[in-house]
A = this chain, B = another copy of it.
Amino acid sequence: MKEIKVGLLGCGTVGTGVAKLLMENRDLIRARLGADLRLKYVADIDTKTDRGIRFDEGVFISDGRQVINDPDIDIVVEMIGGETIAKDFILQAIQNGKHVVTANKKLLAAQGNAIIKAAAAKGVDIGFEASVGGCMPIIKTMREALVGNRIQSMVGILNGTCNYILTQITDTGISFEEALAQAQANGFAEADPSLDVDGHDTAHKLAILMALAFGMEINLKDIYLEGITNITPMDIEFAGECGYRIKLLAISKMVGAALEARVHPAMIPVDNMLAHVNQSLNAVTVSGDAVGDILLYGRGAGMLPTASAVISDLVDIARNQLLGVRNRVPMLSYQNENIRPIPVRPIDQISTHYYFRFSAADHPGVLSKIAGVLGDCGISIQSVHQKGRKVKGAVPIVMLTHKAREADVRKALGIISSLEVIKDAPVLIRIEGGEDE
């Protein structure tokens, strides 16, 4: 039986999952691939930790260079993470003519264009299904299943930590800080959670998906970013009363000849499937001109779900290798000569629906003052909910708007903030995923 030889760099959580799956489901993979996907090396500088796997003699080594320099290795799996050593190893593996599979969204979002160019120049493939959405085949779906569609938009819940925290606040009414502490205690958040809760990780994933969806290079820097640290149980409760859930969303839409590209907390109506994606689960809705909306849902992280996506890439490359072909599907969906820059709209220029919460003095005439400013700025109010409860001597006034321009909204909120009757900075949460007017 033919063999495709795999070398694994990095044996942390996901690396261990890849090794486990390749070994435990070896017969299954062989029965489907028609060849053996053999794990020749697992390299990690930490040679002490027990991963619960019995490797054959000579498989576990400490030096990654041995993997990328072995002429026998067909595919290198990079599971080191980060942007330094991982990048050096990937580029060297490419130079040595090896295909590469990686889950490193941070590296791809920041330096993926250079890596993909290097791979294209050398004629090798880069598989990165595991970089977005864990086990959900969103990369394969975008690159292959939706090949006949002009993609119009996508909206995703792409960070399990944030979704877990928001679910906890929603279900139990605890504060962000308490929910974060719980997430850390349960292994759903890192000691330094900022990469997750500030939205960076979600933006990395969105940058990768946008490239695949729209035929552009990876563009991280133009994505607008807001994290979930300011989300309060009160706003989640009010959202619920209005028929919405709050989620951290990755959003990109083609509007005319430009893109919206943004990561921020948003309210989603409960009749949208995304509203029911809870705990650490991920999901993404993609809209195309032929399919309408399709949604994928699954575990966005974790040892074996992520390893499953890695195996999918490995088998794809192995199938090509067995047939003597490569670069069968363009790495960024489009043939290189058709990848073009697409301008991204600054956040000021987007239009959407909004939720506002004002903390106002309990005086007659307050509502008409606020409504007057909004009207003057061209913002049309869909509904007003004045809440009975007093919070620190002020009454919360909640308003939902019709579609409005963000620039107008910011102008209006600036004016309203300066009114004497307003006791606290107004809260703004965008509303997504409803029917458009």
Contacts and interface: CB of A to CB of B under 8 A. Distances in A.
Interface of A: 17, 21-22, 25, 28-29, 31-34, 129, 135-137, 140-141, 144-150, 215, 271, 273, 276-278, 288-299, 304-305, 307-309, 311-312, 315-316, 319-320, 323-325, 328-330, 333-335, 338
- Top 9 nearest A-B pairs by Cβ distance? A148-B311, A137-B145, A294-B298, A31-B338, A290-B308, A135-B291, A295-B297, A290-B304, A323-B325
A137 B137 contact: yes
Nearest to A325: B323
A270 B304 CA distance: 27
Given A273-B276, A298-B293, A298-B294, A25 B149 contact: yes
Contacts of A290: 17, 21, 25, 135, 304-305, 307-308, 311
Contacts of A271: 276, 278
Copies of this protein in the assembly total 2
A145 B305 contact: no
A296 B295 contact: yes
Most buried by B among A291, A299, A305: A291
Given A31-B335, A140-B140, A296-B294, A148 B315 contact: yes
Contacts of A329: 319
17 contacts: A17-B290, A32-B147, A32-B334, A34-B335, A135-B292, A140-B140, A145-B308, A273-B273, A288-B308, A291-B308, A292-B298, A292-B304, A294-B299, A295-B295, A295-B296, A319-B328, A323-B323
Contacts of A31: 215, 334-335, 338
Given A34-B335, A295-B296, A147 B330 contact: no
B140 A312 contact: no
B136 A311 contact: no
A289 to B, nearest CB: 7
B297 A273 contact: yes
Given A29-B148, A291-B298, 16 more contacts: A28-B148, A28-B149, A31-B335, A32-B338, A135-B291, A137-B141, A140-B145, A148-B307, A273-B273, A273-B276, A273-B277, A273-B297, A295-B295, A295-B297, A295-B298, A319-B328
Contacts of A288: 308
A37 to B, nearest CB: 9
A197 B144 CA distance: 33
B25 A148 contact: yes
Contact of A292 (B22, B305, B319): B305
A270 to B, nearest CB: 9
Nearest to A22: B148
Nearest to A305: B291
A112 to B, nearest CB: 18
A144 to B, nearest CB: 6
A8 to B, nearest CB: 14
A166 B330 CA distance: 42
Which of A31, A32, A288 is most buried by chain B, counting CB atoms within 10 A of its CB? A32
Given A135-B291, A305-B291, A150 B296 contact: no
B325 A146 contact: no
Contacts of A312: 144-148
A300 to B, nearest CB: 11
A335 to B, nearest CB: 4
A305 B286 CA distance: 13
B146 A308 contact: yes
A36 to B, nearest CB: 12
Given A273-B273, A289-B25, A335 B32 contact: yes
Contact of A147 (B277, B293, B311): B311
Nearest to A134: B291
A256 B309 CA distance: 26
A313 to B, nearest CB: 10
B305 A34 contact: no
A304 B293 CA distance: 12
A164 B320 CA distance: 42
A80 to B, nearest CB: 21
